[in-house]
Amino acid sequence: MDHESWFRVKVVVPHDAPTGEGSDRELEAELVADVLWQCDPPAVEQRDSDRVTVLLAAFDSLTAAERARDAVAAMGVEATVEPVEDDGLDAWRTHARPHSAGPFTVVAPWVPTGPLEGRRLEIDPGRTFGSGSHPTSRLVLTELASMDLSASTVLDVGCGSGILSVAAALLGATRVKGVDVDPESPATTIANAERNGVAGLLDASNEPVEELARRGDRYDVVVANLLAPILVDLAESLQAVTRPGGSLVVSGLLADRWETTIDVLTAGSDLTPRPPRIEEDWVAVRLDRLTAPDTTATLRS
């Protein structure tokens, strides 16, 4: 990786900002962090001092960093872009720590851990998304753990590091497929499956979900932790790859506007949403598809 190609977006949120005090200030830093997260950096670092909160997010291209800066600027908050000498991901790696999600404790392989409270889910995201540090990943892990996945097939759309795919296999799914547009994602997903002893149950590729839908693939459970506009774009395909009687779990939705995306997903379909799961400002929703006679063979191992 060319270290010179990394750029850092830096946002300083002063504690004496005119937005107010106490919870308002915290809210502003949180909202800025959410906007940065939506631009898909590998991590957002928050440094608090008495007077300011500094948010840092590294991106692997100037275009991506400028897009994030502009998104923050659109909130009326100043952000700057600066080149970084170090690899932003390696900098993040030194801050990695275990994260609890449902029955799992997500750990990075290089972080020493004692006995863990939850079931070990070891993930090295490399340069992909999905370390377990983001609420949306944890919300979907918790949702998956609440379902009976035994004898189920699972499709993970936007699998990133493979964190959800690997968890689904550990939870009893008989066959899991991960797809992602990121060229590094399939190899990272397979490596994480091997690390957790479930490589035999899982495959990963860059195949577009639209292609899976076109050829009639159907899964018992489909998870899609994507940003809202992408969920809207993929709505038809996501519905199509969820078999009748199966479930679609979506996340990447912001708590103040998740309903709009759910409306699009349910419009003209037989998907019924369950109550949302919420963590911080993020939401995940499980939608169940009506059982109906299915003329297309369900993909089973």
Ligand X SMILES: C[S@@+](CC[C@H](N)C(=O)[O-])C[C@H]1O[C@@H](n2cnc3c(N)ncnc32)[C@H](O)[C@@H]1O
List contacts with ligand X (CB under 6 A). 128-130, 136-137, 140, 157-160, 163-164, 179-182, 185, 209, 225-226, 230, 234, 252
Q: Of 73 and 181, which CB lies nearer to ligand X in the complex structure? A: 181
Longest CA–CA span in the chain (Å) reads: 63
CB of 99 to ligand X, least distance (A): 11
CA distances from 191 to 55, 111, 284 (A): 31, 17, 26
Q: Of 199 and 230, which CB lies nearer to ligand X in the complex structure? A: 230
Q: Of 26 and 207, which CB lies nearer to ligand X in the complex structure? A: 207
Q: Of 91 and 157, which CB lies nearer to ligand X in the complex structure? A: 157
In this structure, are residues 56 and 95 in contact, taking their beta carbons and an 8 Å threshold? no
Q: What is d(CA 160, CA 136) in angstroms, rounded to the nearest whole number? A: 13
Q: Of 34 and 180, which CB lies nearer to ligand X in the complex structure? A: 180
Q: What is d(CA 175, CA 221) in angstroms, rounded to the nearest whole number? A: 11
CB of 85 to ligand X, least distance (A): 26
- Buried/exposed code over 61-76 (b: 16+ C-beta within 10 A; e: otherwise): eeebbeebbebbeeee
CB of 28 to ligand X, least distance (A): 23
Give the residue nearest to ligand X (CB): 158
CB of 253 to ligand X, least distance (A): 11
Residue 119 makes CB contacts below 8 A (sequence gap 6+) with 103, 104, 105, 170
CB of 18 to ligand X, least distance (A): 33
Token pair of 35 as six digits: 């906007």
